[in-house]
Amino acid sequence: MLRLLRAEWLKLKSYRAFWLCALLYLISLPGLIMSLHTFNIKLGGGTSIGFSFYHFPVVWHNITFIAGWFNLLLYFFFILLITNEFQFRTLRQHIIDGLSREQVLLSKGLLVLIFSTLSTLLVGVLGLICGFTLSDSPPTDMALVTQKIAFLGAFWLQNTAYLSFATFLSLIIQKQGFTILFFLIYGIVLENLLRFRVLPEFSAQYLPLRNFGELLPSIFNNLLDQPSPDGPATQVVVVSLIYIILLWGGSWAWLKTRDL
């Protein structure tokens, strides 16, 4: 496993776009989340949106929801990373050098776990900083701090699910532009078409990207200081885990039969 990680690191450390994207991510994500301290919209009747954005425990739901949308950049970068393997034929070279196809796929899986974990750690640190320093009423009870921290786990799972989907598409399509385009078209057009025009409601609720998105439901109730869940629904978590297994199973089946 260390050999696989070392091989991936050797490719990443000489990849200038990786360092540029990492720097952009480390600067822009904290900047975006912390800038919401000044986000305040007055509604009728004196209601204010943005007033309790950093309060514990809803801060975990709020920042993971915002960061989840921001992580589209992370998914697109991962697509570029994998499709480059085909463009520069490094995937074939790994096989020639003695790696099995299972090891090649495992190396991508390890990258997914590392990217998801590092992103989650960053958001977790931001949640603590924002909750303790930017909240109008910093907490004194640690039970309140951890009450909705399950959303941090949901954020990790969502990242893993979307990156697994990105990996699967990248292996199948192989072209950078076409893979990103299909990712967007499927998420924005095709899945919504299936959901609202083709499939019955019972089946539509199990579409992959819909489930991944439901791991971090809308924060609208939080912004209006209305009751909200303590974490994602169990069904959504289970279905997302099943899709992750299916996506990696499909990736493995493709690599086993594909002439690289």
pLDDT tens figures, 66-110: 999 999 989 999 999 899 888 878 877 777 777 788 888 999 999
Top-confidence residue, 38 or 196: 196
On the question of pLDDT at 40 being above 80, the answer is: no
The DSSP result for the chain, as a single string, is -HHHHHHHHHHHHT-HHHHHHHHHHHHHHHHHHHHGGG--EE-GGG-EESTTTT-TTHHHHHHHHHHHHHTHHHHHHHHHHHHHHHHTTHHHHHHHTT--HHHHHHHHHHHHHHHHHHHHHHHHHHHHHHHHHTSSS--S-HHHHTTTTHHHHHHHHHHHHHHHHHHHHHHHH--HHHHHHHHHHIIIIIHHHIIIIIS-HHHHTT-HHHHHHHTS---HHHHTT----SS--HHHHHHHHHHHHHHHHHHHHHHHH---
pLDDT tens figures, 21-31: 889 999 999 99
On the question of pLDDT at 50 being above 50, the answer is: no
Report domain extents, the chain: 53-257
pLDDT tens figures, 107-161: 999 999 999 999 999 999 999 998 888 877 777 778 888 889 999 999 999 999 9
- Tell me the pLDDT band of 45, cut-offs 50, 70 and 90: low
- Tell me the pLDDT band of 10, cut-offs 50, 70 and 90: confident
On the question of pLDDT at 60 being above 50, the answer is: yes
